[in-house]
Amino acid sequence: MDGQLHSIEKELKKELEKSRYEHTIGVMYTAGCLAMRYGCDLKKAMLAGLLHDCAKGIPSEKKLKMCKKNHIELSQIERENPYLIHAKLGAFLAREQYGVEDEDILHAICVHTTGAPAMNLLDKIIFLADYIEPNRTKAQNLPQIRQMAFENIDRAILKTLEDTLEYLKDSRKRDSIDPITLQTYEYYKEDKQNE
């Protein structure tokens, strides 16, 4: 394994809870598989996958303080639901703490939770790898989405967004739906209709 990946992996193993670390490794390798399937830079995909949740274990209050201190702009919904900000903060930490300067990697980390309209290939890979990695078991339609991810990445993204929004609307998290997720869903829904 690449030296940078290996040293970051060792550091994250110390910092993350065991289950979060296992998820992270699952995302890294799933991102690598998707990168090979779609012709994306393998190292970039694995590095983004490895670092996508590097800020996840930070307590909510500390996350909010770190964002304020480092001028990371947060939306109202992110301030009200601090678990959503680990992606933006993770991109910041990837640069500042782990020395990642590649803007594609940082952007993929930043949008991996909500998605974004018109995502590039690396964004799509990290967004999907986070959802379908082997340690995930609870999301509905996982086998179908896992297969779809290797056949038609945009269809897999649309199905992931549909299922995520359905879950959030049916649960008590209705008020925590990030508008970006809705915009992303509308973008990919329209994109599919225009095929």
pLDDT in tens, 60-117: 999 999 999 999 999 988 988 888 899 999 999 999 999 999 999 999 999 999 999 9
CA distance 45 to 67: 25
**Chain-centroid distance, C-alpha 144:** 19
pTM: 0.94
**Domains with residue ranges and CATH for the chain:** 3-139 (1.10.3210.10)
CA distance 162 to 176: 16
User: CB–CB of 113/55 below 8 Å?
Assistant: no
> What value does the mean pLDDT take over residues 121-131?
98
Contacts with 69 (C-beta within 8 Å, 6 or more apart), sequence order: none
